[in-house]
Amino acid sequence: MNKLKTNPWSNNRVTKPKKTTSDFGPALGASSESKFKEIQAKHHKTIQKHVENYESSSEEEDLDTVNLLDSILKDYNTKGGTSDQLIRTKTFIEDSFISGASTCLICISRIKRDDQIWSCHDCYGVFHLTCIQRWSKDTVMQQKHRIEEQMSSTNTLSWCCPKCRFKYLPQEYPTKYQCFCGKVENPRYEPFLVPHSCGEICHKNLKPLCGHKCLLLCHPGPCPPCPVTVTVSCYCGCQKPTLRRCCYKGWSCGNKCNKLLSCNKHKCNAECHSGDCPPCEKKRIQKCLCLSKQALRECASPQWQCETVCLKPLDCGNHKCQVVCHEGACESCPLKKQRFCPCGKNSFILPCTEATPTCGLTCDKLLDCQLHNCNSRCHKDKCGLCLEVVEKSCRCGQHSKEIQCCKQYLCETKCKKIKDCGKHPCNRKCCDGNCPPCEKPCGNTLQCGNHKCSSVCHRGPCYPCQQTKQISCRCTFTKITVPCGRRHKIKPPKCQQLCLLPPDCDHDMRTDNHKCHFGDCPPCKQICLKEQACGHHCRAICHSAVLVKVQGPKPNMPWEQNAPVVEKQAQPCPDCKIPVTVTCFGGHETAAWPCYMAKPSSCGRSCGRLLPCTNHKCSLACHVVDGAINELQAGSNCEQCENPCMKSRPENCTHLCPNPCHAGDCPLCKQILRIKCHCGISQLYVQCYQWLDVAKRDELQCCGNQCPKNYGCGHRCKANCHPGDCPLADLCKKKIKITCKCRRLKKEFQCETVRKGLAIIECDEVCLEIQMEEEKKKVIEDELRRKEEMARMQKELEMFEKKFSGKKKNREKKVYSESTDDGFLRKYWIYLLAVFILIVSFMVYYLLNL
């Protein structure tokens, strides 16, 4: 404790330790003193470290930007360079002058003027040298690990710029800190130079390569375009060389190129252009490769083959060349080479005159069915048909059958799919789903309403009518031809001939020579041009002769009436309406007001800004708009839309939109509607928006039950609930009982046979015998009935004679008393019978004459 220690807060001065006095003894005071000194030393080191790393914004002084730019760009401007060509380069240079403007994208910290950097060759981005070295090493290492894991040796190693992703090879790993032009290593920072620059002329090759070098001092960013003036000719070289900037030296004279094309026959007819000339578009007669034929072909492709076989003798002397049109000598005879038997299992080397023998083994070639092999011995001919019996499905896939593999199996089931027209069924037997197109005529009435479509049945609307009509102007000089049915909807043509009718005002002639027209001529459009009190000339249309109603003399008596008098008068000039710009009180627009109203006031127009509902506009008078997003949207003090939604509902929808006035489309109407099904038995419930879809109404009205209606034949419809007449009534095949005329014989027939009138049953001999016996019985019964009637009438006649015969009085009284007891009908039956016969005869006569 007696040793001298250094005080970190006293500039390394040596001090004696102070004596500590404590109530707890000297040991405890010494330990607390040592702990305080240790903590004090740690705080001192932390402060020193913070001070060393602290960087103030005023640490790097601002450079003299104007003078430095002038010195860098001096040589470029003297060579004729313009300022618009230096915009990009100038931006990079100015950013390098500003303290803290450049940031390393790897470590996300600013780049100081004296830091070692690396600049990308493509995007000219600047990074710390140490950061880009670590970046490139890590990238290459990761790629190596991925290649080793994938066991692939074809991948190439590379690393890329963090900003533009321009790829560099591992050999281009940055190891040196160089200036921007690359001539000086480790350039020193000078306040009168661009940071990280050597101060010498750049001398980089300009891009695109023109042979000139950059004239700026060593600089960041891309080199500017070449400012050197050169004398160059046009692309085709026909014009004399002219003085131009090297960066814009390519130019077209506008004449024909006239360079010899690749065909070596014709010259280029295109306008003077850069690059290669296009292929020759002309045609000429060219010979084929074997020189046996010639044809008119495009000049750009002189080589072509005809379809002629060569047929020249080969080197063997026994065969001829079978190659199609070729140039040069023919190849050697192919039969001298190694040949194989037809099945390909054995090979032979034989003279070209001997045929290739068969090997005698099984052929085993795959047959045309692509499923079985040929079982015959090795043969030269084509393999036969596959005769294996397999189970095959028909073309439509509904049935299967065992049949030879080479044959096709077709069933008798008819296709019920609708053809491409969408109207008629296919009805083709065993259809594979690719139904043939409908060939029935369309026959729909065209849009003209006068003719019918003559095309084959098709989907969608028919083509317009091809017939035409003529419409002429008033003078019939100009005529147009319009499609059929559009004559009453198209206006007459505008005639280009001048209207020759005289003017109806006091002008000698019209200055606005209008063209031929229908109706009255337009009024005189000449300007008055009289000077008014405001100093402007009257710009109103001619008003020197205007028809005006004049008040006539007053009538003397109430019953007198004087007709109004119409005179042509010279009207005074109206108020001056020449527009004068005046700003309204609201300040939201500067409007052009007529001269006689040109004074500061409210514009009088409604605000007109679009309310948040996007359906209405503010109807308040011109006022100041607060809080508006733009010049079209309403502000906070504009009118608030309180209207209900008035948007038009879909057709046939009678319900109102439940929402208040809103933007966008209204939601779908989901009101529940009660409808009857097609068959009228069930009641269905659908939402309104579903019912509005006319195309789906038939589907919505279908209850799914079987139709309760009967066909014309009396049988019930087989289809489910449907609109209109029952479908497929002609296909009903149920049976109906048919009897003969006497109803003794009965037989069942299908509906189709009954509809065709073929269900007829003739009476046989038994029927005829029964009919004859019935007729005989009827004759006998009629005879017995006639005899009984005659006897009854005879009896009644005798009783009548007895009643009125001249006998004794007592007898008469007796008869009378007996007749009285018999009743009214027995007493007067003869009279009643006569009246009844008379009435029946009249009725029969009346019915026969109807």
User: Are residues 27 and 71 located together in one domain of the fold?
Assistant: no
What are the tens digits of pLDDT across the range 443-492?
Answer: 888 888 888 887 777 666 776 777 888 888 888 888 888 888 878 888 88
pLDDT of residue 98: 62
What is the residue whose two structure tokens read 């299908």?
A: 750
Which residue, 202, 227, 252, sits at the end of a domain?
Answer: 227
Provide the β-strand partners of residue 403: 390
Same-domain status, 41 and 184? no
111 close to 132: Cβ distance less than 8 angstroms: no
Same domain, 77 and 214: yes
- Pair 34, 81 in one domain: no
Residues 94 and 11 in one domain: no
**Claim to verify: residue 208 and residue 81 sit in the same structural domain:** yes
Amino acid 343: pLDDT:
87
pLDDT at residue 809, rounded to an integer = 47
DSSP 719-756: SBS-SSSPTTGGG---EEEEE-TTS--EEEEEHHHHHT
Report if residue 659 sits inside a domain. Answer: no
User: What pLDDT does 32 receive?
Assistant: 65
Q: Do residue 89 and residue 186 come from a single domain?
A: yes
User: pTM (2 decimals)?
Assistant: 0.32
227, 260, 279 - which closes a domain? 227
**What type of residue is 128?**
H
The pLDDT score that the predictor gives to residue 813 is 44
Do both 81 and 134 map to the same domain?
yes
- Residue 35 structural domain: 5-47
Domains in the chain: how many in total?
4
- What pLDDT score was predicted for residue 588? 66
- Predicted pLDDT of residue 79: 65
In a domain, 604, yes or no: no
Q: Cα separation of 204 and 227, whole Å?
A: 14
Residues of the chain with pLDDT under 70: 1-32, 46-68, 70, 75, 77-85, 96-101, 151-154, 458-460, 463, 506, 585-588, 806-827, 849-850
- Assess whether 834 and 703 both reside in one domain: no
pLDDT score recorded for residue 814 = 44
pLDDT (0 to 100) of residue 65:
58
Helix (H, G, I), strand (E, B) or coil at 660: strand
For residues 61-97, one letter each, b for 16 or more C-beta atoms within 10 angstroms of the residue's C-beta and e for the rest, the string is: eebeeeebbebbbebbeeeebeeebbeebbebbeebb
- pLDDT tens by residue, 60-74: 555 555 666 767 777
Judgement on whether residues 75 and 220 belong to the same structural domain of the protein: yes
Q: Does 497 fall in a domain?
A: no
Check: CB of residue 375 under 8 Å from CB of residue 340.
no
Whether omega before 208 lies within 30 degrees of 0, making that bond cis, reads: yes
Do 158 and 128 have their domain in common? Answer: yes
